[in-house]
Structure 1
């Protein structure tokens, strides 16, 4: 893991704790990861939040690297201007089996010329800037992480944890990676194709009381038909005015909000019950399974079945009615 002054502490600590936890949980510890944080000529670096991390010199060791990890942070501009640092990244990449970045760390990989002609992602705030600055890089602002050959780039801050879990899965299998995620008490081990914004929480409750009331009513009616005109009536507004104000305050249309809320509810059912996909679709207000599968794929980049295979815990499966389970 590369460290530099002004890097995000979580960009470094998140992935490091994933690999450290994996090493401690392996039956054969010798199969784990030896972690080293290196920095340019400093015995320690101070992250942008003020936390100090002890580091070794860049020149430490000249052997093969399994995973080279590059973080982002508020000190990124200074790091990009450090030609010694950028040059080291380029050289270290040639002896690395995999090269990964967290958040703005993708800029450092691009500055070193490592991402030319490749798909990459970064924090959504910086995606447009990265595309302008490095036109040879195919910047995709949507996924939480992208693998293109030996290069893996992740989006903002916490997505470095998701990316690291994916690397652990690559090394030790999906079941073990899920064990690591559970041990770290992560709510969800997200697949790379999942959008940076894919949950109903993307749209925060509005400040305008009638709109907020409508949002709360939607969340309690997901299994029922939900026409925008009916929701507007709950807000005591005309459909046209409701749609205009809703989009202004929430950032998406009422129809999009309803669809995202349904998918969010579906995710919970797929994770915690053994309901068949058709039953999940009906409980979430979809009148046709095909419509549900299409909407699920559009938002999460995977199918309901594949999602369940990766994340089901059956923590509340006993609550499912036997009659519905067979439908």
Structure 2
């Protein structure tokens, strides 16, 4: 028998010749849209947030749904509250809680920016979706945002059942939110070892903040994010830090020693045209290598942030949504 590799990869998921033609056209439109608009660091984070909320950036104006419920929870700092936005399943019956952590490069967006997506998750997962409004850089650099996410997770472990009628079961997020959700899981593993997530939803996360994995530098198209944008995000989040400091596992989960640890099942998703592709592939492989359940799904041709685009934009959007629903429902006790 010929020698076989112990690690196999489906190369068709990365082959540009096999990408959906409609997706390629969608990507070209995105490139033009992002090229024509200002970058956040050119106008400043506060001004850019205002422009985005008003629909004056390449992204559409956020849709606000009446079903969303705003609230606050205590933080570790006396007198400071952490905002959140909650969606409950349309049927009224929730089987637990999903802690959602939004993306935006640790600099942009908030818990109020993704109502249709939050409602979709609540209705299809049959979970209460709790989106945390963590502090943003550059006004509040690391570890401020991470601490808010840790505080929210700990609060939900202790108070979720009383406040929302169910236990914390899942956490996840997109891009920066995927990074923070991964850190939340590792944090709770140490802080509350008797607690265990049912699963993690880690969508196109950045898991190495020390200088980026090769795809960020090799990606030749400015498709939603590129090297310059990512570097500005990191500089805003981690000012006055060295590369070695950024490699600390409390910042870059890729460097966490997970040997012998029982990690939650994790779904890693990423488009093949995402500069953060290496992060997903390598982190997913590391998850599996130490005996944990890590499912890695690659969507050929899809750009960064694909799962947040309107269903029907490209096939990968609904495929990704369907995969997350299947992953979640398989892990909810019946």
- The TM-score range, normalised by the shorter chain, is under 0.3
Greater C-alpha Rg = 1
**Which structure carries more helix by proportion?**
1
Q: Higher relative contact order by CA 8 Å / sep ≥ 6: 1 or 2?
A: 2
